[in-house]
Chains A and B, each alone.
Chain A
Amino acid sequence: MTTSDDAVTVLTVEAPAVAQRRARWRMALPVGLLAVPMLAFLTYFFFYPAFILLFSSIQTQDSRGIIGRPFTLAHYARLINVELYARVLWTTLRISIITSALATVLAYPVALVMVRSRPMVTRIITLIVIAPLIVSVVVRGYGWQLVLQNGPKGMLNWILMTLHIVDAPISVLYTEVAVVIGSLHVFFPMMVLPLASALGKIDPNLEDAARMLGAPWWKVFLRVTLPLSMPGFVAGFTLVFSLTAGSFVIPAILGGASAVMLGNLIEQQIFVVYDWPFGAAIAVVLVGLVLAVNGFSMWLLEGRRLRRPE
């Protein structure tokens, strides 16, 4: 008797929940079906090639150019052991970190002004920040080439010499500096936008409260604004780092021979040297590097190590 009573109670309690779950499924099903084409496309055209790439990187190429057994890690060893290649790896890391760091420093004031101004000003600044995205990276690369050109006819040199800041032309083009400048220009919006979004979520009362508790403006920034904008900083830094590390056009146009990055090395191995397994190994290292940075930032954000404003 008691058992059947219990069963009845359980049923009546459970029934609505089950019905609700079913209803949710009925809704989810068509949406799920709509997602299938894109998921199938990505699986075939992204994950499958990525797997091939990974697979090629541990295989051997024979004298006729055919890739096959035996499996080997020699390509990875070569990337690290051959000084020429290792230097490219370090250059890539260095340029990416410097670009991301500079972008951060330059983006904070822009993002702050963007968030704290009147709506009209905010709109104008947003436009200024994202407008360059309309122009192709290649065009912007060549633009910078003209500006940074070595020799007295380069725009920068001409200005510096006319203003008597330097006596002889300086060499910027085809150095890491040129690549950093170009990358900064191209990837700056990727830093400003997440930062602005994070800063916009900070309650302005928090800064007022800090001021009233005796904090001058720079302490307000260091103790309140900066820590609370960490999610935006991490997102922006990760984006700019990933994009810079993976870039090809900017170092190709502005870096020349002295600032070769991993992307350019891959192109060289695939199209010039025809050493596909080695090219694949470099690509895997590049992807691994970017994934590691992304994974680290996810860990920072999700593990509540950075507290988000409520």
Chain B
Amino acid sequence: MLKYLMAKNEDIPSGSAAVYFGFSAITWFVIGTGLGAFNAAKLAFPDFVTGLEFLSFGHMRQVHVHAVIFGWISQAFAMAMMYITPALGNTKLWSEKLGIWNVILWNIGLSLGLTVLWFGMTSGREYSDFPWFIDLYIATFIFIPLGINVWMTIINRRTQGIYTTNWFFAAATFMVIIVFIVGNLPEFFHLTGLTEAYLTWWFAHNVLGLWITPVAAAIAYYTIPKVTGNPLYSHRIGHLHFWSVVVFYSTPAAHHLMSAPLPEWLKSFASVEGVLILVPAIAFVSNILLTMQGKWNMFVENLEVRFTVTGCLMAIPLNMQGGFQQTRAINWYIHGTGWIVAHAHLALLGFSTFLEVAAVYLGLQTILKRKLYSLTLGNIHFWLLLIGFTTYWVSMTIAGLIQGAGKIYEVPYIDVVIAEHPYMIARWIGGSLVFTGNCFWLYNMWMTARTGTVIPEGRMPHELAYER
């Protein structure tokens, strides 16, 4: 890999950047879920590993969150962009070399950032916990180069139109850069008080809404038509999805602060806009599920389709939950409880992760031209992820409802802690299943690269029968 850093762009095999991003993302996924399971264990058993500052919950929690968001999710996105954008433009990636530099600089910056967070050097602002020098690094050396590669590939495409997926990629890379720069203004210019609090959540909300959600959806717009061979059900609905994401999803940041003394009009506005996010959500889910028409057998038979469709199906409860939990009538009950943690994992570990996993499976097999090493391991991975996640989600949702009841009746807090304990243990078990599944996945992809059956030119991985 290092030899490509100085090589001429033409000499770098196409797809290299995507492969490196792919493996790097899987590795971060293993690390991130390992940390998640560790944190879950700490919440279930407070005396598990004690007395060491750097292994305490308060130091590890943000490392987990940032490892999964900027390591796993965002690198899997980059991986998808590196192979899907050129494929849809019928061309090559604008610069493989930039892509490779991007992987390296990304991993250096992220490792540095996580170390710094781990040592407790934090801005103290949720989701923008990184100190400002890391934020600047991320914008300059991670997202801007990624964006340039995507935009230039699209501009140099050899097709006439631009396919849905690529609108999303181009727009989301642009938006995430804006969000990073604007959302961190409190750190760059030392803004304080409510401005600081509100911008913190403006950042958090928009990283989710203008980066994670649209890119994950865009990936599904590629994988499902590509693997099933069906054309996308409707381009128009794709348009509706795109524009409603930009218009509705960028506005309800204040719904994260419904109980803070923000201007009331802002909270009401956010509440209404939040319900309108159901427009892109329904557009997306219906478009993908209708594209499946006539190919539902692949939901059972094909791993990538199964992951993607499961992810899409999870988008339904996710967005229903989102839409109603942020109305004032509901939010006071579940705000700040385990319900929100369950919602966050339904979004990131459920919905978006399942879509990305499919893209990484598909991409690595296609670029390496090797069929998946072991379908059994792939299936085990799927079920461990699904069962682990479901355990997590169900247990935290119940815990959240208990907490909510305790909250509104002002039950002594310790009774809430006692009541939640079994669910904390269940969450830890669920998390450990996810982590185990990911270890299998890493092994499986590694073996695929080494010994997977070679796929002949012009064939899709799933068209080949298994030899093993």
Decide whether A and B are members of one complex. no
A residues whose Cβ falls under 8 Å from a Cβ of B: none
